[in-house]
Structure 1
């Protein structure tokens, strides 16, 4: 059974699948972004192009992992930068995900990225550097809490190796963790290393399985770090 998304993470689609940033509802949401949000659950948002492959799988898989480590403390959502509401998750990806215990993709409905959705997230994980640049073009102030998934995972591995994990303090929260990670962003950028997740859409069926196998270790690293960040302060 699909876990319902936190209302603040899921925009209401317009008939043509696009968000409506100029609407009164969205302007009210933007005005409220500066208000304090509940400490729990905190929010993580994954983003790709259509929200039917990379961010859809990432949302379900990360939620599954974080619920096992820190139940009820983090909500995970997903959006696309160019959503087509007629599209759904390709069956080969549904099958590949289910082989790894990730369910719910067959009924997944894509969501369009909007500034208010980005503004409400404590941490934003983009599929590629191009997606990250698009997100930050719309919401520049999100720079300290926006990464590519592979970038953040590489950074966590490096910082954990250097500090024995002590750089993530319990009780700091998702956004506090993201802001601390952003100070060490250069550690993830090894020369020649790709920080992108290739898009399997319109490719061979094997591409979906490769995407799943690429993303799962990165999601495991991020879920562990988030669980440490939202653990009660000692």
Structure 2
């Protein structure tokens, strides 16, 4: 049963455009997400969004800027609006490629005996694909292989370290044109059991096909 007194907010990162409906369409009061993930189409250079019921969007805007200002004031640097709209236009295509990449990762890694989530060919609710690698060495090797296969910073070796918000060391691989644009192609994982790596993004599913070849040679 729904509780009319309960306000529901959804972190929609990696979930946009994967399904035919979004959280506000099924009862969420407010959603928030990042424009350097799904809705930015790998083009938006920065930014985030909130959407949902007017009351809560206005409350969020007042909190994120200043009371009384909301969305009525603020700077928009350079041609960033063009990038936002172009990214939004491209987003469904980019998300589709990321989903296909996730399906490929699941199929290949499951065939090699690794536990994956979601399972191969399972219904998708976001663009993240997890693989349980079981050892620290495999997790590090996986991320190093992904970084070597990236178009930017392929010479960089990912090193595990402490990151705010994580209870253990984390390793990241994200050789992207836009810093932090994990939807271009990236992976990360906490260095604790079961040593799962979380893969996301890919501007074309064949990127993951090439990456997986390097991964399998490395782990």
Answer yes or no: same fold by TM over 0.5: no
Band of TM-score, shorter chain: under 0.3
Larger radius of gyration: 2
1 or 2, which has the higher helix percentage? 1
- For normalisation by structure 2, the TM-score amounts to 0.27
- For normalisation by structure 1, the TM-score amounts to 0.26
